[in-house]
Amino acid sequence: MRFSMLPVFVLLLPLAEIAGFVIVGRAIGLAATLALVVLGFVVGCFLLRRQGIGILRRMSAEGRSGTMPERELLNPAMTVISSLLFIIPGFLSDILAILLLIPQVRNLLWRSIARRFVVVGTDGGFSASSRSDFRGRTGKPDDSKVVDLDEEDYHRQPNGKSPWSGKQIED
pLDDT digits (tens, 9 = 90+) for 104-121: 988 888 888 777 766 555
Closest CA to 125 of 105, 140, 115: 140
All structural domains of the chain with their residue ranges? 3-140
Residue from 70, 66, 69 nearest 120 by CA = 66
Instruction: State the average pLDDT over residues 149-165.
Output: 70
Q: Residue 127 pLDDT > 50, yes or no?
A: no
When pLDDT is averaged across residues 122-142 and rounded to a whole number, the result is 48
158 and 165 Cβ atoms separated by less than 8 Å: yes
Pair 97, 78: CB distance under 8 Å? no
Render pLDDT for 46-58 as a digit per residue (tens, 0 to 9): 988 887 667 767 7
User: Is the pLDDT score of 141 beyond 60?
Assistant: no
Strand partners, 120: 126
pLDDT at 91 over 60: yes
Helix (H, G, I), strand (E, B) or coil at 120: strand
Average of per-residue pLDDT across 16-31:
93
From the CB of residue 20, how many other CB atoms can be counted at a distance below 10 Å? 17
This model's pTM is above 0.75: no
Q: HSE of 109 in the Cβ direction (CA atoms, 13 Å)?
A: 16
Strand ranges (DSSP E) for 35-162? Answer: 119-120, 126-127
Between residues 126 and 37, the one the model is more confident about = 37
Let me know: does 91 contact 97? Beta carbons within 8 Å.
no
For position 38, what pLDDT does the model report?
A: 95
How many angstroms separate the CA atoms of 12 and 32, rounded? Answer: 25
Task: Please determine, for residue 125, whether its predicted confidence score (pLDDT) is greater than 50.
Answer: no
pLDDT of amino acid 113: 76
Looking at residue 70, what is its pLDDT?
65
